[in-house]
Amino acid sequence: MAENAPEASAETHPADAFLAGSLRHAPGPYFGAYGGRWMPESLIAALDELDETFEKAKQDPDFLAQIADLNRNYSGRPSLLTEAKRFSQHAGGVRVFLKREDLNHTGSHKINNVLGQALLAKRMGKTRIIAETGAGQHGVASATAAAFLGLECVVYMGAEDCRRQALNVARMQLLGATVVPVTNGSQTLKDAINDALRDWVANVSTTHYLLGTAAGAHPFPAMVRFFHEVIGEEAREQVLEQTGRLPDAVCACVGGGSNAIGIFHGFLDDPSVRLYGFEAGGEGVETAHHAATITLGRPGVLHGARSYLMQDEDGQTIESHSISAGLDYPGVGPEHAYLHDIGRATYEPITDTEAMEAFSVLCRTEGIIPAIESSHALAGAIKVGRRLAAEGGDPADRIVIVNLSGRGDKDVQTAAEWFGMLDENGQVKGTTLSTRRPKGFVPGEGTGAVEELA
Amino acid sequence: MSATDQHAQQQGTQSGSAESTGRTTASKAAAAIDRARAEGRAALVGYLPAGFPTVQESIDAAIALARNGADVIEIGIPYSDPVMDGSVIQAATTEALANGFHVASVFDVVKAVTDATEAAVLVMTYWNPVMRLGVDEFARRLAEAGGAGLITPDLIPDEAAEWIQASDKYGLDRVFLVAPSSTAERMAMTVAATRGFTYAVSLMGVTGARASVDESARRVVAEARAAGAERVCVGLGVSNAEHVREIAAYADGVIVGTAIVSALRDGGPDAVGELAAELSRGLERGAGA
């Protein structure tokens, strides 16, 4: 006898959603069967306080003006929408436009959310923010907002991610944040979130947990999306201005899903625009090494929300794998789970290899080094573009927007390793040929200049 | 959820209830606390994770705990993401998982401890493993093993509709937590949803030994009682007989976790028995408090 109603019952059908009206501005706490608050009672009061503060703030013209001012005069918004004409040749000849979140201050979309939440923290009278980070982009953005607004900042980062993203660890420290390497579990993003939650429950009276993705307990998914909606709003306006029409498809990478939900939001009520989220397929979804949560996961609860989850038959979280630290997360935001179930957005895996090929193509065709996370969206756009071209007609009449969520400076070491640019000592090949007498005998100690003068 | 689904679920419950004796079964955890109360003392509630260091040793340790004074045993399910646990319990549950622990074994542990002792045996678990097995199926197997019910650190009554239904059907206790941060409204709602006892979290933090018991514990207990709780037990940071004595003066039960897990780690089941005996000496009201 079947004990239970089937899991993941898509309780809302696309027809219902459209009949009910707009998919935009979904307030939470539930997105269909997903979302909610699967959290310890100790944190519920803090979530309520945050919810109340956020709901007031988003109706408050002063707050909205403050955000608009910071977006323009601190982050550098609006970010550009750049047509990638040479890259297009690799995508079936369709027109590809890049939403340039890589040009924001701190180098990714993450700044949109941290400024918003840090302002809310101040409104709540909190003096300290904590954050988790995978690739380091959210940690750097949090450290930046904390420095800018005079808040104390502690960032939890998996020890494995610290190794992969050492440059970002240094950036956070330069910005005055304390970085705590997390050595529990898989030593990546999910474990960093666990430790941040443990910190939060102990320090909730002074501390705001500045969650970096559109996941977690209510109000985080709806709130993080709110601060990123600017991406989709700008992109929609820009593409209309530059081409006179809406795109055929919008592509974004999905880890927790914050950049994707931000750009999707602008197009949710445009039924002609197909939305694609590209998950990290790692070494391939047929292997055990990937982070394709929607593709292969099943509903469960993790970090406060019900959503798709990579889990074993016992409900234990499965360690994810991706070359991209920012996508290396076994969960996904609940609104994406809902958009998947109702068929409004399509989620597909992109392997490490496909992402790195797209990374290389963009570098060489457009002079832009993308984040490896964003390279998953680029690889997806290549596929989508070819499919659109195969549908017939002039491919130049087809338009695809890719959310270029971050720049790749932080990924240079990983990319150099992937493309075989390093020697056996981990040095970039061709950079150790100088025949001049070494300036310093002990690496990292003293300065070459002093040695030379002596 | 569509009206049709809800209707189907209600139908399922009704036919299920008719078959089970659940609704008439008294709360095992409440009965254990009431026995202690009749003896003029608070109850001792002791936590151990299933499968640490092995399934058999976790059974031996839990039996030693019960035979040396614990009235209620909490058997924890090792979980990959234990956000409410401090380093000692994290290390123990991580080791259990590394040793190949599977959730199904928890029912064996519950049955073995229930068969061998008088203690009420509750399972303490993060919610995803229950959801994965299926809430009804989990409840059915727990009841079949003789378990008293569940303590759910990351499940609040707001999200617990399915569990409330299943626990009614199988006559299981549902122990929800209240915290120093709980508002009066939430306290009342949580106490009303609870069966067995209300778990008062003594402080804002995760599990782990502390030098002293937080003053907020007394306030949380008073607030839970004001909200109508008949039985309130205090946990988190309770690590020695002195703490037990202090809490036994105002609460119905005292919950000890990390100290017992440390004892098992360092001295095996015998050390757990010794610690339980020592802790239980602090239970009598007015015992030197």
Rounded to whole angstroms, how far apart are CA atoms A113 and A117? 6
Q: What is the pLDDT of residues A296-337, one digit of tens each?
A: 999 999 999 999 999 999 999 998 999 998 898 999 999 999
Listing DSSP states for A78-133 in one string gives SPPEEE-HHHHTTTTT-EEEEEEGGGSGGGBTHHHHHHHHHHHHHHTT--EEEEEE
- What is the per-residue pLDDT across B54-99, written as a single tens digit (0 to 9) for each? 999 999 999 999 999 999 999 999 999 999 999 999 999 999 999 9
- The yes-or-no verdict on residue A414 having pLDDT over 80 is yes
* CB crowding A410-441: b at 16 or more within 10 Å, else e: bbebbbeebeeeeeeeeeeeeeeeeeeeeeee
pLDDT at B3 > cutoff 50: no
What pLDDT does B286 receive?
57
Q: Is A391 a catalytic residue?
A: no
pLDDT in tens, B248-270: 999 999 999 999 999 999 999 99
Q: pLDDT tens for residues A355-405?
A: 999 999 999 999 999 999 999 999 999 999 999 999 999 999 999 999 999
- Closest CB to B153: pick one of A40, A194, A313: A40
Shortest CA distance from B10: residue in chain A: A5
Q: Tell me if residue B95 is catalytic.
A: no
Please indicate whether, in this complex, the C-beta atoms of B178 and A41 are within 8 angstroms of each other.
Answer: yes
Q: How confident is the model at residue A126 (pLDDT cuts 50, 70, 90)?
A: very high
Of B84, B134, B201, which is closest to A3 when you measure between CB atoms?
B134
In chain A, pLDDT over 90 holds for what percent of residues?
83
Q: Is B74 a catalytic residue?
A: yes
What is the arithmetic mean of pLDDT over B160-166? 98
Least CB–CB distance from A314: residue in B83, B129, B201: B129
Active-site choice (B57, B60, B81, B85) = B85
pLDDT in tens, B31-45: 999 999 999 999 999
Confidence of residue A186 (pLDDT cuts 50, 70, 90): confident
Kindly state the DSSP code that residue A323 receives in the 8-state scheme.
S
Task: Provide, as residue numbers in chain B, all residues whose Cβ is less than 8 Å from the Cβ of A311.
Answer: 128, 132
Q: Is pLDDT above 90 for A145? A: yes
pLDDT at A18: 52
- Looking at residue A17, its pLDDT comes to 53
| Confidence (pLDDT) at B209 | 87
Chain B nearest C-alpha distance from A188 (Å): 12
Q: What's the gap in Å between the CA of B226 and the closest CA on chain A?
A: 18
A249 at interface of B, judged by CB pairs closer than 8 A: no
Average pLDDT value over all residues in chain A: 92
Instruction: Enter the ipTM.
Output: 0.90
Q: What is the pLDDT of residue A164?
A: 77
Compute the distance between CA of residue B182 and CA of residue A216 in angstroms, rounded to an integer.
20
Q: Which of A79, A88, A126, A132 is catalytic?
A: A132
Q: Does B9 touch chain A (CB under 8 A)?
A: yes
Q: What's the pLDDT score for residue B99?
A: 95
Query: What's the average model confidence in pLDDT over B150-162?
Result: 98
Q: Any chain B CB within 8 A of the CB of A178?
A: no
Q: Are A225 and A258 in contact (CB under 8 A)?
A: yes
Reply yes or no on whether the pLDDT at A8 is more than 60. Answer: no
pLDDT of residue A182: 96
Give the active site residue among A75, A88, A322, A405: A405
Q: What percent of chain A has pLDDT over 70?
A: 92
At CB < 8 A and 24+ separation, what contacts does A74-79 make? A74/A105, A74/A115, A74/A148, A75/A104, A75/A105, A75/A111, A75/A112, A75/A115, A76/A103, A76/A104, A76/A105, A77/A104, A77/A112, A77/A230, A77/A234, A78/A230, A78/A234, A78/A238, A79/A103, A79/A104, A79/A231, A79/A234
Distance CA B124, CA B120 (A): 13
Between positions 80 and 99 of B, the ones with CB within 8 A of A are 80-84, 86, 90, 94, 97
Kindly state the average pLDDT of the residues A257-283.
97
Task: Choose the catalytic residue: B60, B74, B173, B252.
Answer: B74
A232 close to A144: Cβ distance less than 8 angstroms: no
Q: Please give the biggest Cα pair distance in chain A.
A: 86
Q: pTM for the full model? A: 0.91
Among residues 156-175 of chain B, which lie with CB inside 8 Å of chain A?
156, 158-159
Q: Is B79 on the interface with A (CB under 8 A)?
A: yes
- pLDDT at residue B13 tops 60: no
Say if residue B188's pLDDT is above 60: yes
pLDDT of residue A435: 86
Q: Which residue of B has its CA nearest to A191?
A: B81
A–B: how many Cβ contacts below 8 A? 128
Residue B272 pLDDT greater than 90, yes or no: yes
